[in-house]
Structure 1
Amino acid sequence: MDWSAWHDGYDTADSWMARRLRTVRQQIRRALDDAPPGPLKVISLCAGDGRDLLHVLAGHPRRHDVRARLVELDPRNAEAASDAARAAHLDGVEVVTGDASLVDRYQDLVPAQLVLVCGVFGNITDSGIERTIGACAQLCETGGTVVWTRHRGEPDRVPLICRRFEREGFELLWLSEPDAGYGVGAHRFAGPPRPLRPGLRMFEFVGYDVLRDRPDAAAS
């Protein structure tokens, strides 16, 4: 998969990708609006070119309160995110080119007020989804928000994702309608703070195409 070229779909105004992006931005804006006063820490896993978070931060009144780390493996996407952050004078944004699945990359930013897991759950196995959600309880502060995405194609894993978040101490804030053409959710962590487990790998990025062509891979 060419993950840089994949982002071109966002530029088609009424595509499902563009509509999902607008929804994710709305949930990011809501999380920033509702965050308590003071410094805000934000983590974005598999951040792509950062157009979800950076677009919101560029015009948000809390922009100077935010310290954010975007982790993205594709160097072209990471470079695009860095360029966008500089162009918007978002001095508190750091873009890291590397494996976003390693919790150690976020050690100095936890617990965070906002964790973005967008474009991840549709590309990893069920066990990876469960590990990642469990790790979100370590990455997120009590009262913090996780914004996530997952397609609604078969097998529809959105109900599983919601149940797993609930088991880990999260409360559902918002969920897109089943017929929206995409899945976007926001969960608030209501549990007690959990220590980060150094060395934890949350997932292996299998890819949507592999999971689609090999349904048995989803549960592996």
Structure 2
Amino acid sequence: MDWHKWQDRYDTADSALARRLVTVQERIRLALEDCPPGPLQVVSLCAGQGRDLLGVLPGHPRAHDVRARLVELDPRNVDVAAEAARSAGLHGIEAMTADAALLDHYAGMVPADVVLICGVFGNIVDRDIERTINACTQLCKAGGRVIWTRNRKAPDRVPLICDWFEERGFEREWVTAPDELQAVGVHRSTARPRSLQRGTRLFTFVGYDKLRSSVPGSDQALT
């Protein structure tokens, strides 16, 4: 899969992915507006070109309060994100070429006010989804929010994802309606964060195409 070229799918007007991006951006906007005054920290796992956060910050009243780390393995996508941040004068944005599955890459930026896990859960197996949600107790500060996505193609894992978050002290703040193929969810932490466990790998990024063909019960035509 060419993940740089894949980003072009967001440009298809009124597609499920384009609608998802708009929804994620709106949830980021609302989350930032609800944060207390002062510096804010954001981390994004498998950030791609950073279209979600970088589509919100220019012109946002909290833009220059935000320090963010966008972790993405494809260096071409990282270059796009870094250039977008520079062009917008967003000097607090760090686009990092690294494996987003390794907790070490979030050191110094967590616990965060906003944790973005978009386009991830549809590309990893269930046990890794649960492991990643468990790690959100390290990544997200008390009162902070995790904004996540997952397609609803069978088997629909959105209810299970919600259960896993809520079992770990997150409150369900908002989830898209069940008839929306590309689900977006927001969970708010109610507990003190745990210490970052360096050296921990959260997931193996399999890719929805390989999951669909090789993992029984994982029909994931979109991310």
Q: How does 1:90-169 map to 2 (within 5 A)?
A: 90-169=90-169
8 A contact 2:4–2:76 mirrored in 1? yes
Instruction: Provide structure 1 residue ranges, at least 5 long, that are not aligned to the other structure.
Output: none
Amino acid at match of 1:114: V
Moved over 2 A (4+): 214-218
- Displacement of 1:215 in angstroms is 3.2
Q: 2:2 and 2:21 mapped to 1: Cα distance?
A: 19
The residue aligned with 1:73 is 73
Q: Aligned to 2:171, what secondary structure does the other structure show?
A: strand
The C-alpha deviation readout for 1:16-72, integer Å capped at 9, x for no partner, is: 111000000011001100001110000000000001101101121001100000000
Amino acid at match of 2:113: Q
8 A contact 1:144–1:189 mirrored in 2? yes
Which one is further off, 32-41 or 190-199?
190-199
Q: 2:36 and 2:88 mapped to 1: Cα distance?
A: 24
Q: 2:31 and 2:93 mapped to 1: Cα distance?
A: 17
Amino acid at match of 1:23: T
Q: CA RMSD, aligned part only?
A: 1.0
8 A contact 1:125–1:217 mirrored in 2? no
Amino acid at match of 1:80: V
Q: 1:132 and 1:187 mapped to 2: Cα distance?
A: 14
Answer yes or no: is 1:183 the counterpart of 2:179. Answer: no
The residue aligned with 2:26 is 26
Which one is further off, 175-184 or 112-121?
175-184
Percent identity over the alignment is 62
8 A contact 2:139–2:193 mirrored in 1? no
- Displacement of 1:214 in angstroms is 2.3
- Displacement of 1:217 in angstroms is 7.7
Q: Aligned to 2:55, what secondary structure does the other structure show?
A: helix
Amino acid at match of 1:208: Y
CA, structure 1 residues 200+217, in 2 after alignment: closer, same or farther (shift >3 Å)? farther
Amino acid at match of 1:169: G
Q: 1:181 and 1:55 mapped to 2: Cα distance?
A: 22
Higher normalized helix content (fraction of residues)? 1
8 A contact 2:43–2:106 mirrored in 1? yes
The residue aligned with 2:17 is 17
- Displacement of 1:198 in angstroms is 1.1
Instruction: Provide structure 2 residue ranges, at least 5 long, that are not aligned to the other structure.
Output: 219-223
Answer yes or no: is 1:63 the counterpart of 2:68. Answer: no
Q: Number of aligned residue pairs: give it.
A: 218
Amino acid at match of 1:180: E
Q: Aligned to 1:70, what secondary structure does the other structure show?
A: strand
